[in-house]
Amino acid sequence: MNGLLMTPRPLPNRLLPVLAGSGAVLLALPVFLLAGFPVVGWLVGAGCWAAAQAVGLLLARLPLGADNLAASGVVGFGMMVRAVTVLVALIALATAEPALALAAALVYATGYTVELVLGIVLYASGERLA
């Protein structure tokens, strides 16, 4: 198990994890409607998800690797800023409307978790580099 995630592998395509996360966000809407949760909370969470994915799509266009250290730094910094921006937006919403912020955070966390787990599974099941 120790070598499973420590063995270098090529990065998998991010499309499937993003689509799965987006599907989870979309599937949360009927749950919100049936449970009587605030739909505006779902909209805010889905909007945060869409904005974060749009920034991720822009960052994915930049080249990575030792030959592109500046671009790699921008990608790393951009990924951190993307997460912090969503967090700050949800905290700001929580000061005004705690129930909406909780609903939005649950929607965003659902999509993020599905994307993360599938990404890790795809990475771990990929072909090992020599």
Residue 5 lies in a domain: no
- Top-confidence residue, 68 or 79: 79
Mean pLDDT of 58-71: 79
Question: What percentage of the chain reaches a pLDDT higher than 90?
Answer: 56
Residue 129 lies in a domain: no
Residue 8 lies in a domain: no
Cα 119 from Cα 130, distance rounded (Å)? 21
Residue 84 lies in a domain: yes
Residue 101 CB neighbour total at 10 angstroms:
20
What would the two tokens of residue 48 be?
A: 């945060």
Evaluate whether 22 touches 53 at the Cβ level (below 8 Å): yes
Residue 29 lies in a domain: yes
Residue 102 CB neighbour total at 10 angstroms:
17
Query: What is the Cα 17 distance to its own chain's centre?
Result: 9
pLDDT at 130: 56
Evaluate whether 81 touches 56 at the Cβ level (below 8 Å): no
Cα 115 from Cα 19, distance rounded (Å)? 8
Residue 43 lies in a domain: yes
pTM of the entire structure?
A: 0.85
Residue 130 lies in a domain: no
How many domains does the chain contain in total? Answer: 1
**Segments forming the whole domain that contains residue 92:** 15-124
Evaluate whether 6 touches 125 at the Cβ level (below 8 Å): no
Confidence class for position 32, pLDDT limits 50, 70, 90: very high
Evaluate whether 75 touches 61 at the Cβ level (below 8 Å): no
Residue 104 lies in a domain: yes
Q: Return the exposure string of 77-96: e unless at least 16 CB atoms fall within 10 Å of the residue's CB, then b.
A: ebeeebeeebeebbeebeee
